[in-house]
Amino acid sequence: MEFHILPTRTAGAAENMALDFLLLQRYPHAGTIRFRHYEWRGPAATFGFGQKIAWVRGQLPKEETMDLCRRPTGGGIVDHRHDWTYALVISREHALWEARATQSYRLVHECLAQALRELGWPAVVKTPDGDLAAAATLPGAGVCFQRAEPYDVVHEHSGEKIAGAAQKRNKHGLLFQGSIWKPAAGTLDWDVFGGRFIAALAQAVGAPATPAPWPDLNEDEVTGLIEQYSSPEWLEYR
């Protein structure tokens, strides 16, 4: 098993979502886990695959135009103007592909909380109220950082939500799209945090982290999926 760390990229909302999905669908190395941190070209927001567009638009700030895209994963609305965004793709050969969604969610967020604690921020993973089966059926929050769900990362003392995520699992593997709300995480050196987070993930998945070049994706397919994710049909799917 290998753990590839891809270069940071800055892109618009549709391109970032398309690239995350293609990393799940078309990554050429079976048995490889891959991670990327990415940034946004201007103010952007994404929302969960199952959310209704009319409701989503009503929650967005009226004073600023947002680059908006529906994610291939679930979850709620994420305002990316002040977050640290990442994607983790786990191939089907890893045990987490077959694990419950709550198990993979908890593992990744325990690594994230550990990285924050190493930098002096009191972060913990929120434990569920009730049994795990009930927690697994809870609906996602409509707006991501307004409410902490089971296994989100929260401030140990105030309970304020720091990090959340959403997942998509298919025959190729597991896509984990995560976001850290910077205002809730204190003043951090985010480059140092990224290194600590990756190191914790590497230990958890049992593979050393290795920098890797961006994969050679089919440019026509990339362009086509960006166009799909930019289209009114995708945005207004529900």
Domains and their CATH numbers in the chain: 2-235 (3.30.930.10)
Distance of alpha carbon 221 from alpha carbon 224, whole angstroms: 5
Question: Binning pLDDT at 50, 70 and 90, where does residue 144 land?
Answer: low
Name the token pair of 140.
């996602």
pLDDT (tens digit per residue) in 113-139: 999 999 999 999 998 875 444 444 444
pLDDT (tens digit per residue) in 63-115: 788 999 999 999 999 999 999 999 999 988 888 888 888 999 999 999 999 99
Residue 140 has pLDDT above 50, yes or no: no
Residue 27 has pLDDT above 80, yes or no: no
- State the pLDDT at residue 53: 93
Q: Is residue 144 among the annotated active site residues? A: yes
Residue 141 has pLDDT above 70, yes or no: no
Residue 145 has pLDDT above 80, yes or no: no
Q: Which of 144, 148, 202, 226 is catalytic?
A: 144
- State the pLDDT at residue 149: 87
- State the pLDDT at residue 143: 65
pLDDT (tens digit per residue) in 32-56: 899 999 999 999 999 999 999 999 9
Q: Which amino acid is at 138?
A: L
C-beta of residue 106 within 8 angstroms of C-beta of residue 125 = yes
Q: Which amino acid is at 36?
A: R
Distance of alpha carbon 32 from alpha carbon 53, whole angstroms: 35
- State the pLDDT at residue 237: 81
pLDDT (tens digit per residue) in 161-219: 999 999 999 999 999 999 999 999 888 999 999 999 999 999 999 999 999 999 989 99
pTM of the entire predicted model: 0.91
- Burial call 132-167: b when 16+ CB within 10 Å, e when fewer: eeebeeeebbbbbbeebbbbbbbbeeeeebbbbbbb
- State the pLDDT at residue 234: 94
Q: Where are the alpha helices (DSSP H) in the chain?
A: 13-26, 53-59, 101-118, 132-136, 190-205, 219-230, 232-235
